[in-house]
Structure 1
């Protein structure tokens, strides 16, 4: 009997992962930026930006809304697709955790539509959007555990040792 997807952790660079889909912590413009977003666009090459521009010219003229997800080619990455999702900026006065959870749910929904079996996630919103790592990890892990999906492996790819340790503590490893 299946108990859901295997949740795994890797410390390292998400752009070096081999997976069916790599999740990009994008900005709403879909046109690249800093952090994970910039790294994915740089390593993946111009094919990703070309598809993002086409999305902006069609369905997402005002940009991709926070908490939503959309897929493009993965270009030169070792993946078939990049799933772009826009995380919320952390607020000390407003609870935006539902938007952060939506990033994970929507990314898995898109992965299921694509038929992706392995998905690599960064720690969404923990960079320039300043989401505290402990809370971001809690939202990420509880959301993917509660989301029905056909994805076989959900891999959290954490850039540094502290992020890895926070996620590992939640996963009991």
Structure 2
């Protein structure tokens, strides 16, 4: 029974495995290239060697977020942020109100100059596109559901594959062939 289920589940899932594999490889290649090119954001080494950032007080953070919310409402009254990003690096301090998924519309408020930049139709970077493909969000809620079901099915395949292997190994052991691997 496991063998039949294992085969029926595995054939249609091959497409999704290849999709997740290729998008994951693309993300890793991009991350690796970023590290070798000295990209600060993608390199864990760069974040460890960066100078310490001056810690903001809770009141200053509330002020930054409050200013960003009020300015974004002035600029885009219908904008509904689902994510807040704070960059407190000296000389680069800004607050970005954005929507999910990454790469979507955003409003950025520069703390030093007070300038507001609203981008309601940003170009989606390749990195964000690969993340959306990898997680299934590229196809919306249905894509997320498909990736969830696919993940559960892959776990079933892993477990059923181990059960099948154990059954074959036990059968071979009973016939006097005790090797763990065979050809």
TM range (shorter): under 0.3
The structure with the largest strand share of the pair is 1
How high is the TM-score relative to the length of structure 2? 0.19
The structure with the largest helix share of the pair is 2
Q: Which has the higher contact order (CA 8 A, sep 6+)?
A: 1
Structure showing greater radius of gyration is 2
